[in-house]
Amino acid sequence: MKSDIRVCSAWRETHDRPVYTLSDTCPECGGAAENSAPAPFDPEDPYGEYRRALKRRHR
């Protein structure tokens, strides 16, 4: 299923949380908004712990 909801593509740099919108641009910073359907990452980051563990291991 395709979602019409978009998310600010630069929210990580610009906002402290994902900014969702139905338009092509972010309503807060005016930057590009991208389709949130195939999320480039999960805000809840289920693999965050795994990644952090890996980082510790390589240190």
With 0-12 / 13-18 / 19 or more C-beta atoms within 10 angstroms meaning exposed / middle / buried, residue 44 is exposed
Judged by CB under 5 A, does residue 20 bind Zn ion?
no
Residue 26 in the binding site for Zn ion (CB under 5 A): yes
Residue 8 interacts with Zn ion (CB under 5 A)? yes
Residues 8 and 16 sit within 8 Å (Cβ to Cβ): no
Nearest distance from residue 25's CB to Zn ion, in Å? 8
Per CB under 5 A, 7 contacts Zn ion: no
Residue 25 touches Zn ion, criterion: CB under 5 A: no
